[in-house]
């Protein structure tokens, strides 16, 4: 499968977000990863609907929205209206993942479901064929710039063995040191924040994630 890179603007310079979006697009990134944190599901607060609405026009790339929030169901429609192309929510935050996937699909968007590092990957198996993408967190969600958790590689392998064509995204600690490991394990969508946005030459780092 072709490797796609989703640039997490959590590590961008927020004072120059439109320039940062242009830099990611011109550097060969395939998607913009938009991390939403509510200070409840995770111990951090990032940005939400008005920010997405305001920056959406500055990029031609698809927006890959990652909801790290306790009540994803309530925010699907606002993020869809604000310009999301795909919305990923956490399995740990809902008892009705199929209902949320249906809602995302009814708005014409791609639906992703994420699991934290300690959540059993087999909980995602019943959603294969319903969701468009699985997101395996490779750090505890909440902050950029953390170290990759190597135990998550087995989860990626198991899910890839279960499904040969599902999009499998990974998020957290992805750099030239870990990209080949997650790709070999079966991931095909790589989120990267600090490794891309703190680079002097983002294009060369983006290419290293794909090579
Ligand atoms: C963390 C976020 C990530 C974060 C990744 O909870 O979901 O998307 O931006 O940052 P890096 O690539 O720096 O680990
Ligand atoms: Zn993320």
Q: Which pLDDT score is estimated for 202?
A: 98
Neighbours of ion ligand 2 (CB under 5 A): 35, 66, 171
Indicate the average pLDDT of the chain.
Answer: 98
State the Cα–Cα distance between residues 68 and 140, nearest whole angstrom.
Answer: 11
Query: In 10 A of CB 107, how many CB atoms?
Result: 15
Task: State whether residue 5 is helix, strand or coil.
Answer: strand
Mean pLDDT of 15-30: 98
What tens digit of pLDDT does each residue of 58-107 get?
A: 999 999 999 999 999 999 999 999 999 999 999 999 999 999 999 999 99
State the Cα–Cα distance between residues 119 and 31, nearest whole angstrom.
Answer: 26
Residues contacting ligand 1 via CB (< 6 Å): 8, 10-11, 33, 35, 66, 139, 141-146, 171-174, 191-195
Give distance in angstroms: CA of 171 to centre of ligand 1. 6
The continuous run of DSSP H or E covering 43 comes out as none
Kindly report the pTM of this predicted structure: 0.98
Q: Which residues belong to the active site?
A: 35, 171
Nearest CA to ligand 1 atom 6: 141
Q: Which pLDDT score is estimated for 85?
A: 99
3-state helix, strand, coil in the chain (%, to 5): 40, 20, 35
Percent of the chain with pLDDT over 70: 100
pLDDT band (50, 70, 90) for residue 6: very high
Nearest CA to ligand 1 atom 4: 144
Q: Which atom of ligand 1 is nearest to the CA of 193?
A: 12
Q: What does the DSSP assignment read for 85-98? A: SEEEEEGGG-S-HH
Mean pLDDT of 111-136: 98
Ligand of minimum distance to the alpha carbon of 146: 1
Percent of the chain with pLDDT over 90: 100
């Amino acid at each position: 499968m072709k490797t796609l890179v989703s640039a997490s603007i959590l590590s961008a310079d927020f004072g120059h977000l439109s320039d940062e979006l242009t830099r990611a697009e011109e550097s060969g990134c395939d998607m913009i990863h938009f991390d939403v944190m509510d200070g409840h599901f995770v111990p951090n607060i990032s940005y939400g609907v008005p920010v997405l609405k305001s920056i959406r026009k500055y990029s031609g790339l698809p927006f890959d929205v990652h909801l790290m929030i306790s009540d994803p169901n309530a925010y699907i429609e606002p993020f869809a209206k604000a310009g999301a192309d795909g919305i990923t929510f956490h399995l740990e935050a809902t008892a009705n993942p199929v209902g949320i996937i249906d809602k995302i699909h009814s708005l014409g968007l791609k639906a992703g479901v994420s699991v934290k590092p300690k959540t059993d990957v087999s909980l995602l198996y019943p959603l294969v064929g319903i969701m468009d993408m699985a997101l395996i967190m490779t750090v505890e969600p909440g902050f950029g710039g953390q170290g990759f958790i190597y135990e998550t590689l087995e989860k990626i392998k198991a899910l890839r063995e279960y499904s040969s064509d599902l999009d499998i995204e990974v998020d957290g600690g992805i750099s030239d040191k870990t990209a080949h490991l997650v790709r070999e394990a079966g991931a095909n969508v790589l989120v990267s924040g600090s490794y891309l946005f703190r680079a002097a030459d983002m294009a060369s780092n983006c290419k290293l994630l794909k090579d």
